[in-house]
């Protein structure tokens, strides 16, 4: 058993997190993650309404009595999101752990704190992490450049970002971006983190609610099979390499490019329907991190968690005595 500040303060057995993933963070995945002893997050905005989120929380509780949380990502959208109503659904459902991402969590913290909810905020730089800590979050998930999704604009990889954050933060740190193995967990702990967050690895599990062809592609891909898009719009994102992402990159490279030029190709609804649900891998944008180069098989969630922990414990018992002699 690996015990850290994170496991102690968040009441979970293992220092492993499955962060919120659009279209993927539903009860089918989050419940087995919780059952395995890791901490999983439902993705609030994967649900079309706050009422649907409350129902999804109830459905997850029917599948597990272990702790799980809800991710609330705060980003500009084409259609206004009723964030206050989603927040109310989280509070009224009795959730005790929330993962925030995107914009500042400050507007939501008073209600979350009043309800006794612990907040983990995702940050892509030390300065943003410090800002969130000052605002009162309970932990920071620090995202290195290797991660799927939005790694920020600084291009700092985890090997630098994690210890830089650990040097100045006082709250527990969850290392995110590039993690899929027991060796990664050991490395993150050595760099000063208290847990690791995995998204891409949990997508390649039996329970992940995505098409089998997506899972098979994650195993087939290597660490080079991602593409950076939206940089010219200052909304940098790492996605899987496919026909759509290459088109978006080419269109974005034009001197007069605007987001309107790629909006239809980049549609989240299109990616969820065509790729995640139907398995048409080249018909939409979908998220994947460089950690796909470390994924060798599709396996049940519990096997993934148990394997990572066993690898980490074996590695720690092998390495540490040699350094202590």
pLDDT at 310: 96
Q: Where are the domains of the chain?
A: 12-210, 226-287
CA dihedral 88, 90, 91, 95 (to 10 degrees): 180
CA gap 109, 113 in Å, rounded = 6
CA gap 212, 298 in Å, rounded = 9
Q: Which of 11, 1, 5, 6 is nearest to 67 (CA)?
A: 11
pLDDT at 169: 98
Query: Taking 60 as the threshold, does the pLDDT of residue 155 lie above it?
Result: yes
Query: Taking 80 as the threshold, does the pLDDT of residue 321 lie above it?
Result: no
What residues does 205 pair with on adjacent strands? Answer: 299
Which one of 3.20.20.70, 3.50.50.60, 3.30.70.250, 3.30.1360.10 gives the CATH number of domain 12-210? Answer: 3.20.20.70
pLDDT at 313: 92
CA gap 195, 189 in Å, rounded = 7
pLDDT grade for 325, boundaries at 50, 70 and 90: very low
CB 230 within 8 A of CB 287: no
| Arithmetic mean of pLDDT, 177-196 | 97
**From residue 28, how far is each of 32, 122, 123, 135, 287 by CA, in Å?**
7, 23, 27, 33, 19
CB 67 within 8 A of CB 60: no
Sign of the alpha-carbon torsion through 64, 105, 91, 193: positive
Q: How many CA atoms lie within 13 A of 22 on its CB side?
A: 22
**From residue 302, how far is each of 44, 186, 187, 242, 286 by CA, in Å?**
24, 19, 22, 30, 25
pTM, entire model = 0.93
Q: Which of 131, 132, 84, 125 is nearest to 108 (CA)?
A: 84
* DSSP E strand stretches across the chain: 16-18, 39-43, 69-74, 97-102, 118-123, 139-143, 173-176, 195-197, 226-229, 237-240
CA gap 2, 193 in Å, rounded = 13
Higher pLDDT, 325 or 76: 76
Interstrand relation of 39-43 and 195-197 (parallel, antiparallel or unpaired): unpaired
pLDDT grade for 159, boundaries at 50, 70 and 90: very high
pLDDT at 323: 45
CA gap 301, 213 in Å, rounded = 18
Query: Taking 50 as the threshold, does the pLDDT of residue 324 lie above it?
Result: no
pLDDT at 183: 96
Question: For 91-116, what is each residue's pLDDT tens digit?
Answer: 999 999 999 999 999 999 999 999 99
| Arithmetic mean of pLDDT, 12-19 | 97
Query: Taking 50 as the threshold, does the pLDDT of residue 245 lie above it?
Result: yes
3 state SS for 257-276? CCHHHCHHHHCHHHHHHHHH
Question: Residue 56: CB partners within 8 Å, gap ≥ 6?
Answer: 26, 27, 42, 47
């Amino acid at each position: 058993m690996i015990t850290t500040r994170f496991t102690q303060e968040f009441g979970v057995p293992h220092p492993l997190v499955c962060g919120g993933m659009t279209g993927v963070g539903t009860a089918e995945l989050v419940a087995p993650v919780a059952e395995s002893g890791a901490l999983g997050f439902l993705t609030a905005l994967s649900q079309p309404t706050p009422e649907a989120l409350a129902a999804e929380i109830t459905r997850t509780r029917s599948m597990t009595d272990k702790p799980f949380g809800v991710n609330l990502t705060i980003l500009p959208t084409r259609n206004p999101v009723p964030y206050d109503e989603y927040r109310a659904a989280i509070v009224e459902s009795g959730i005790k752990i929330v993962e925030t991402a995107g914009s500042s969590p400050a507007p939501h913290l008073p209600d979350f704190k009043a309800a006794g909810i612990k907040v983990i905020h995702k940050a892509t730089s030390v300065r943003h992490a410090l800002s969130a800590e000052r605002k009162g979050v309970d932990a920071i998930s620090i995202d290195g450049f290797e991660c799927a999704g939005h790694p920020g604009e600084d291009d700092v990889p985890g090997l630098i970002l994690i210890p830089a954050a650990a040097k100045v933060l006082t709250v527990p740190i969850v290392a995110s971006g590039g993690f899929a193995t027991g060796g990664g967990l050991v490395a993150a702990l050595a760099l000063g983190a208290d847990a690791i967050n995995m998204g891409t690895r949990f997508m390649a599990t039996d329970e992940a609610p995505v098409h089998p062809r997506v899972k098979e592609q994650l195993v087939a891909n290597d660490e080079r099979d991602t593409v950076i898009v939206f940089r010219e719009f200052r909304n940098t994102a790492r996605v899987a390499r496919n026909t759509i992402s290459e088109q978006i990159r080419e269109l974005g490279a034009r001197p007069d490019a605007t987001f309107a030029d790629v909006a239809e190709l980049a549609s989240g609804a299109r990616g969820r329907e065509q790729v995640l649900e139907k398995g048409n891998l080249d018909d939409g944008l979908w998220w994947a991190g460089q950690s796909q180069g470390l994924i060798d098989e599709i396996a049940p969630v519990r096997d993934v968690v148990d394997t990572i922990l066993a690898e980490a414990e074996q590695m720690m018992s092998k390495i540490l005595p040699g350094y202590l002699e």
